[in-house]
Structure 1
Amino acid sequence: MNKNDTALLSILIQDARASFADIARKLNISRAHARSRVNALVDEGVIEKFTAVVNPEKLGKVISTFIDLKVVPQHIEAVAEELAAKQEVVSLYIMSDLRSLHIHTLTDSHEAFDKFSKDFLLGRKEVISVECGSLLKRVKHRRGGARL
């Protein structure tokens, strides 16, 4: 990775549909070199995939909730896999204490989140505790991916 690769990644993070010609123009390199570098970064696994960022509110998913779930350590993987498969869960992380899951859900109403929590979180013997809060306002977010 060099300075041009970092700049190239920043362009693709902002717009995964940027053409090789656009990238080349912005970096003052040839189209062939831009294509070659993008392909190399894909082959090296630096770029895992090209994707679209979807505005959940436009899809009616207006309730954004963050959940910190403490789970009996022996069950962390199974609970994580089960929850990750639910459509309401948009991201899920196993934390370094190996008993906590940090989960982000999107639902279309508080009632839908209540149903999700009753169906999949509450009353489970593997769950030690649940803390959650709904998003009030985004101040800084990584829409479009990480900033380099």
Structure 2
Amino acid sequence: EKYKTSCDLIWEEWDSISDNYHNSYQLSLGVAYDPLSGYGEWYEQIPLRAGGYVRKLPFNSVNGEEIWEQSLSFGTSIPLRTPGKKIDLAAQYTDRGKISENQYRDKNLMFHIGITGFDIFKKRYKKIAPREIPKPDKKNEF
């Protein structure tokens, strides 16, 4: 079993582009549980992930207030019978702005589905084996 954590601080330089934009940043934190693969029942091999972030958007609301965005996400991968193949599932909730502060509010809930291990673009196999190129026979010149 492995437990993993991740933390990111992202700085975006926007104020040099236009007077309507200002610098923004995002602070993200994530945790993951990754069980040992190949041991136990299939449901004991399922990894779990959770994370979230807080972000100050690079623009202000109509009345000049800053707009903040918060998000939480949860995800997992369901292993399939064939090694290396799995189905990824995730849910993400995002809340942006506050009516009381900037007369703007946006909430959304997204679901993500991904498939891993079903390569559509595969490396083509050579249809012939490597072989030596024959050298021409030496002929007597006239």
TM-score band w.r.t. shorter chain: under 0.3
Q: Which has the higher strand share?
A: 2
Taking structure 1 as the reference length, the TM-score comes to 0.18
Q: Which has the higher helix share?
A: 1
Taking structure 2 as the reference length, the TM-score comes to 0.19
Larger Rg: 2
Report which structure shows greater RCO (CA 8 Å, sep ≥6): 1
